[in-house]
Amino acid sequence: MASLAVVGLGYVGLIHAVGFTLIGHRVVGYDVNRSVVESLRRGRPHIYEPGLEEALRRALEGGRLKFTDFLEDAVAESEAAFIAVGTPSAPDGSADLSQVEAAARAVGRAMRGKKWYLVVVKSTVPPGTTESLVAGAVAEESGAELGVGFSVASNPEFLREGTALEDFFKPDRVVIGAGDEKAASFLLDVYRPIEAPKIVMKPREAELVKYVSNVFLALKISFANEVGLLAKKLGVDTYRVFEAVGLDRRIGPHYFSAGLGFGGSCFPKDLRAYIKLGDRQGVDLHIAKASYVVNEYMLQYAVELLEKHLGDLRGRKIGILGLAFKPNTDDVRESRGVELAKILVARGAVVYVHDPVAVEKAKAVLGNAVVYVEDPQFLVDNTEAVVIATAWPQYEELNYTNTIVIDGRRVKKAREAKIYEGIAWA
Ligand code: UDX
């Protein structure tokens, strides 16, 4: 059993704090936000994730999980800290590393006097960050020498929102980018209870693995969407095509669901950061750029389809079903539904929106620019056209027969619409 600190209790940090506890470790979760810490102590997660509340309760009951807003306490009681703070997009698209640096400095200060400590970067950061920015900040603040008084590692995560706990306990692989032998053997011990291939590599390799994985998945989606645009014109069902294509074991069936494109906290942001990384190294990353362009175009195409049926959108009543970036989450970050709402509002349309769980979060972004509707059937019945932006199961229950549907998520029932347009399939 190891004693671990998790620094930053956002989505990634909280899942890891709970997960590490449930596989047998002692964990102190730290966050600057006192109300988050207090709510977690009471067993109430501040994020929505299936099974998390139950898992948090079990973890707290065992007495091996604590939460604090004093970083010094978390570091004092642990042998390693996992930095899981945000790396949002800077205005130029690159990864903003200010939170990572601040966390590394704070951990460095808190670990003064320790014989050895391990600083692990969970956040998605450009290759080289762990060994340069993080190790440098920790050394400066702690006065300890890298490789002697402390070690560093990159340990990227591949959690999907909605299935994050399952992804933690049953990952496809665990990637350990260890700065030295000691870091590698410590992390191999931490992950011993998890049955999955464990790959030990250099920190900068592990950091690149994370970007390449996300960029490749985003690329598969954009590829399917581009094929979908063509297939629609040819009168072909894209999903039938990928069903057959995906059976080729060299290709695989996943992440070919064509539709309105990808949103969320990772794909768009990581794609931008990766492209920027290429720019800085003088490498033009054509494929990544194209996949970003296709993703943006899918929104544009939804607008074109609306115009095809309604003409000028000024003053027209348009409904959007789904604001969460995918089902089973209330996360609206870069969600296609929210982005589309912004575009339609800018075009002068009167936009009605529905989401079963994400309305509160959407309000913080869209404010009063749209009309929030509680009953999705009311939205369908009182608008001139509807765009389905999230595949919530309840959208399979609606009656669409009197409206125009631009289906961005392949809802079967929507095919009964007066006019039906699959966005990327015929
Ligand atoms: C993703 C990665 O899967 C995960 O490994 C990483 O750690 C974080 O980013 P997440 O953002 O939670 O996870 O969601 P994911 O299920 O991968 O979906 C991302 C977006 O792509 C969603 O908007 C989804 O609707 C869209 N998508 C996904 C498609 O449009 N088609 C697909 O075939 C798959």
Transcribe 383-406 into DSSP letters: SSEEEE-S--GGGGSS--TTSEEE
> Which sequence positions are flagged as catalytic?
266
Cα dihedral across residues 232, 236, 240, 246: positive or negative: negative
**Beta-bridge mates of residue 174:** 198
User: Which residue's CA is minimally distant from atom 16 of ligand 1?
Assistant: 160
Each residue's pLDDT expressed in tens, for the chain with a length of 426 residues? 999 999 999 999 999 999 999 999 999 999 999 999 999 999 999 988 999 999 999 999 989 999 999 999 999 999 999 999 999 999 999 999 999 999 999 999 999 999 999 999 999 999 999 999 999 999 999 999 999 999 999 999 999 999 999 999 999 999 999 999 999 999 999 999 999 999 999 999 999 999 999 999 999 999 999 999 999 999 999 999 999 999 999 999 999 999 999 999 999 999 999 999 999 999 999 999 999 999 999 999 999 999 999 999 999 999 999 999 999 888 999 999 999 999 999 999 999 999 999 999 999 999 999 999 999 999 999 999 999 999 999 999 999 999 999 999 999 999 999 999 999 999
Expressed in angstroms and rounded, the spacing between residue 11 Cα and the centre of ligand 1 is: 15
Domain annotation for the chain: domains and CATH numbers: 3-201 (3.40.50.720), 213-422 (3.40.50.720)
Expressed in angstroms and rounded, the spacing between residue 88 Cα and the centre of ligand 1 is: 17
Expressed in angstroms and rounded, the spacing between residue 43 Cα and the centre of ligand 1 is: 28
Pairing between β-strand 174-178 and β-strand 198-201 as defined by DSSP bridges:
parallel
Closest ligand 1 atom, residue 329 Cα: 12
Gap between the Cα atoms of 67 and 6, Å rounded = 9
Closest ligand 1 atom, residue 325 Cα: 23
User: Which residue's CA is minimally distant from atom 19 of ligand 1?
Assistant: 262
CB 167 within 8 A of CB 194: no
pLDDT at 48: 86
User: Which residue's CA is minimally distant from atom 34 of ligand 1?
Assistant: 255
CA–CA distances in Å: residue 80 to residues 22, 52, 135: 17, 24, 14
CB 423 within 8 A of CB 305: yes
Cβ-proximal residues to 396 (8 Å cutoff; 6+ apart), any chain: 411, 412, 413
From 227, 267, 292, give the residue whose CB has the most ligand 1 atoms within 8 Å, as the site to mutate: 267
Gap between the Cα atoms of 378 and 301, Å rounded = 25
Expressed in angstroms and rounded, the spacing between residue 158 Cα and the centre of ligand 1 is: 10
The ligand 1 site (C-beta within 6 Å) comprises: 157-161, 214, 217, 221, 255-257, 259, 261-264, 266-267, 325-326
- Residue labelled with tokens 């929507």: 414
CB 176 within 8 A of CB 188: yes
pLDDT at 174: 98
